[in-house]
Structure formats: C-alpha cells, structure tokens
Amino acid sequence: MRVSAVGMGFDSEEAVLREAAATAAVTHDHPEGVKGAQATALSVFLARRGASKEEIRGAVEARFGYDLGRRLDDIRPDYRFHVSCMESVPESIIAFLESACYEDAVRKAVSLGGDADTMGCIAGGIAEAYYGGVPKDIEDNVRRRLPQEFLELLDEMYAKFGNCETLREGGGDNGGEVAENAGVKKDGGCDKVGDVDDAGGVEKKGSAEDVGAN
C-alpha cells in the first residue's frame, strides 16, 4: 500500500521493479509480497507514462500472471477479507481498471469488503497516476488530517518528481482516452455524482467534507 511512490519516482521499468522489491522486503519479504509490490508500482509507472488500461492489464498479466480479466460483479459475492497480496493486489488493480475516475476506483476497491485500506491505496495510487491527480476536495480534506511532517514529505515528493498531471502531459495514448471520457475531470474527479454512486454497490453519503467528521 506504500509502494505507489516508487512508480512515481523512477524512470524505467527495471528501476521501478528493483526499488519496489526493496521497499517490500522490509515488511513483506515473501515472493508473493514482493510480486504484489512490483505489480502495483509497475501499474503506477505505466499509468503516469500514458499507458492505456488495456496496456496496463496486459503488462501486469504477462509479467506477474495475475488474472485481471475478471469482473468486480463476479468477484464481490464470494470475496472475503484477505491479507495475502495474491488475493488483494489483483482485485485492487481490477477495481482501477473498471473505474471512471479516482474516487470511483477507491470506492470500487473498498466495495469488495476485503483489506479495504490497503486495497483503496493500491487502486487509488494507480488511479491518481492514470487520471492525472486526486480531486481537490478529497486532497484538501486529507491534508487537514495529516501531521505536518507528513505534509512536508508529500510536498517534497511532488516538488521533486512532479504531480501526476504534469508527469502525464504529452505522454502516451491515454491522454486522449481520458480527455474524451465525459465523466472524468482533469484532476481525476467525476463530473457526475451518479458516476460514483452507482459504482460497485457503494452508496455515497455526503461530501468529502463529511468523511471522517465523527
């Protein structure tokens, strides 16, 4: 769930895969844990470089053997909480692949009812890179909740590597695909609340301002 920054910070697949493995080894030193981190980081890397969803799907399936051809509607009825990467990373990537925008990707991942915080981070990290950012209302709400030291690290990372919008400028086929998607704003947000409300059976209650208010 913390490896997305690797996909942002390195400029070759080889470097991304190497550094993803290094970050995983600290706490997930198991072949499947390393594989999950590498698959996530590679997805972020490809997304920010302008790859289409089908290109991301194909690259991850070919390298890691994940079955990304399944549908969330088929997965959800029998899905249970899993802490293993092999049963949470592929599902998180599928949530991104079926999404219409950043928020939709996170909601779809959470809707499966699994290791929700981890899966939301995985799907959201890829979606941020693919759709060109995090919607401002979500970003502002989260920033109000983070300690200053976290904010400083986050700002330093974006200052060094650029945000997803600037990284994607002029890159790949996906720029046109996203621009033509009527439900997607430039910052990764959905124009229509219904785009999110009807996604994955998750009802949207209130706005980002209301999230975690209690």
Which pLDDT tens digit goes with each residue over 29-42?
788 889 999 999 99
pTM of the model: 0.80
Region of 64 please: left (phi>0), alpha (psi -120 to 50) or beta.
Answer: alpha
Question: Looking at the domain assignment, is residue 13 inside a domain?
Answer: yes
> Residue 182's pLDDT is what?
31
- Is 210 annotated as ligand-binding? no
In a domain, residue 27? The reply is: yes
115 labelled as ligand-binding? yes
Q: Let me know if residue 209 belongs to a domain.
A: no
Whole-number pLDDT of residue 199: 43
pLDDT averaged over 10-residue windows placed end to end, the chain, 214 residues:
89 95 84 93 96 98 96 89 75 97 96 88 96 95 96 92 56 39 51 45 40 33
Q: How far apart are CA 68 and CA 166, in angstroms?
A: 28
Residue 191 domain flag = yes
Q: Which domain holds residue 105?
A: 4-202
User: What does the pLDDT read at residue 195?
Assistant: 44
Total number of domains constituting the chain: 1
User: Hey, what amino acid is at 37?
Assistant: A
Say what the pLDDT of residue 187 is. Answer: 61
- Position 49 scores a pLDDT of 94
Residue 76 is assigned to a structural domain of this protein: yes
**Assigned domain for 212 exists:** no
Identify whether 62 is part of a domain.
Answer: yes
The CATH number that applies at residue 42 is: 1.10.4080.10
- Residue 124 CA to residue 143 CA, distance in Å, equals 16
Extract the tokens encoding 150: 């976290």
Q: Count the neighbouring beta carbons within 10 Å of the beta carbon of residue 58.
A: 14
Q: Is residue 210 part of a domain?
A: no
